[in-house]
Amino acid sequence: MKLTNAQIAWRAAQDIEDGAYVNLGIGFPEMVAQFQPSGRAAIFHTENGILNFGEAPPAGEEDWDLINAGKKAVTLKPGAAFFHHADSFAMVRGGHLDVAILGAYEVAETGDLANWSTGPKGVPAVGGAMDLVHGAKRVAVITDHVTKDGKPKLVKRCSLPLTGVGCVTRVYTSLAVIDIVNARFVLREKLPTLSLDELQALTGAELLVEGGIINLNVPEV
């Protein structure tokens, strides 16, 4: 048993406070926006120059000058702003974002992240990944706990090309919520159906326990 991608996104959304400035990585992390707890409204930032964009418009009503970093059509919420790319990345590198939520190929216990390249084959493309890992007050990753082949994605040291060094602060996986503290994985929450030993066997570095472990209970979403 494991959480679906939507459930992982739901769990990550619970930690985003009202009024937080948030950047969601392209693809899976974009799902987090759907699960904001009621009464809370985060302000979403996109690298290509919008603050406070909203959902996709209905099909046929797209304005292709109004897109997000994934080149998908979006809408604006009241209080939105446009700005050029240097200002957009000043928001990122300048430490003005509260949270960035990104996908991952691998996360190391040191907080190193690999999420942009699977090696030298093909055409390399980095986009804003290397910028986003610097500057947000919290850099969180959402990911399956293991690869499609069942290998750990949470590891001692990344084997794939790095996106950033020592940058990740929390990982939401399909099995657990894990903080990175002093370059070690600290287990905060795990699925109640899974023993600590079972979880450790699926993790490539030691899981520390400080205080208690909370049951990771996520509704069907």
Partner 1 sequence: MDKIVANLAEAVAVVEDGATVMIGGFGGAGAPIELIHALIDRFRATGSPGRLTVINNNAGNGRIGIAAMIDEGMVAKMVCSFPRSSDPRAFTEKYLAGEIELELVPQGTLAERIRAGGAGIPAFYTPTSYGTELAAGKPVAEFEGRSYVQERWLKADVALIKAELADNHGNLTYRKAARNFSPLMAMAARTTVVQAHAIVEPGDIDPEHVVTPGIFVDHVVKVAEAAQEEALIRQGVEYA
Active site residues per annotation = 47
By CB under 8 A, name the one of 17, 18, 57, 84 that touches partner 1: 84
Interface map 136-175 toward partner 1 (x if CB under 8 A): -------------------------xxxxx----------
Q: Does 59 bind partner 1 (CB under 8 A)?
A: no
**Cβ 190 to partner 1 shortest distance, Å:** 30
By CB under 8 A, name the one of 19, 57, 127, 192 that touches partner 1: 127
Task: Decide whether 112 or 189 has the Cβ nearer to partner 1.
Answer: 112
Size of the site for partner 1 (CB under 8 A): 38
Torsion angle in degrees (nearest 10) through CA of 66, 134, 148, 189: -110
The region of 84-92, 98-106, 187-195, 200-208 touching partner 1 under the rule CB under 8 A is 84-92
By CB under 8 A, name the one of 17, 18, 55, 63 that touches partner 1: 63
Task: Enumerate binding residues for partner 1 (CB under 8 A).
Answer: 46-50, 63-67, 71, 82-86, 88-89, 92-93, 112, 122-131, 134-135, 161-165
